[in-house]
Amino acid sequence: MIRQLQIDQTVAGQRLDLFLASHLLFDKSSETNLSRAEIQKLISRGQVTLNGTVTKPSARLKLHDRVDVQVLPARPTSLKAESIPLDILYEDADCLVVNKAAGIVVHPAAGRTGGTLVNALLHYCPVIFGVGDDLRPGIVHRLDKDTSGVMIVAKNQRVLRHLAGQFKARTVHKEYLALVRGKIAAEKGIIDQPIGRHRSDRKRMSSLYPLSKKRQAITEWGVEERFAFADTANSLRWFTLLRLTPRTGRTHQLRVHLTDLGFPLVGDPVYGKKTQLSATVVDSELGIARFSRQALHAEKLAVDHTSTGKRLVFTAPLPEDFASLLDKLRQRSLVSLDVSHAR
């Protein structure tokens, strides 16, 4: 099978190999994941021709040139499409936006080959097969397993590179809702603390005790609501709902920054473990003790559309568990008490 590509003014002047690497319009196969070196071999073997003639990878394209590509069989893959429900917020020819449920892993990894968001995406949208990394087709960014909210998925290589470029350039706008333990007195602030692997626990990240190799991490925060509850005769137990805007995207950034600031996320099994072990009667009565995941939701994502350039803003409603917990806090909070009594 031969695929023909016509060169228009937007790509005229490009090298042949770079053109193919950026467009990759093969049938639904993992050939869309070919490296530039592999594309150069394909051209050198005569499986790509320019105006019917075998040429070099460095050949410059001209307006109205014709590129013929011999489409090869798909590479074998261990990924399986699975019929897993998806909450789709938006879809067009370029991308798919989903509201990821808490508890689902984004992509397969060592020890986990199924039940992931990628498996669900391959069933719903097979065209993403081969777009990007073999085990992460279409994936532009990730959320932790137990973090819910907005994720955007690329449907072809061109869109993947464009969106990835926006994340790298930090032009993507993200907002999260987070419920933390404790009372944050200020209304807003910025956490500017580099993050690296924890020096004594390689499964965790830290801004207080990182290894020497660390990366810049910046998180803006603002208080949405505060909740106070009688804990003992002379003290209150506080919780604060925050809106977080990460300027960078480091592993576990929000969870680490909040914990190291002294306000761990409710339910965080890794970074809030100590506070979970010291849960009080208040935690049990409010359902805090039974909230078994970090109370973190990616509510908003804004990106520039690859084809139109239009700024698109996507919003994901709070999942039921998070929304129910907030409702209970609002109903029982001692909002009329003088906040100066807070411990």
Provide the annotated active-site residues. 144
Nearest to 88 by CA among 98, 75, 102: 98
Q: How far is CA 6 from CA 3, 29, 72, 188, in A?
A: 10, 21, 20, 53
CA distance 175 to 221: 9
CA distance 138 to 141: 9
Token pair belonging to 269:
């099994």
Nearest to 195 by CA among 142, 254, 148, 245: 254
CA distance 76 to 79: 9
CA distance 192 to 283: 31
* Torsion sign (Cα): 263, 269, 273, 276: positive
In what helix (H) or strand (E) does residue 239 lie, and over which residues does it extend? strand 235-246
CB 59 within 8 A of CB 50: yes
Residue 139 DSSP symbol = B
Please report the DSSP string for 165-190 in residue order.
HHHHHT--EEEEEEEEES---SSEEE
Token pair belonging to 161:
């590179």
Give the pairing type, strands 88-91 and 48-50. Answer: unpaired
Token pair belonging to 154:
């690329």
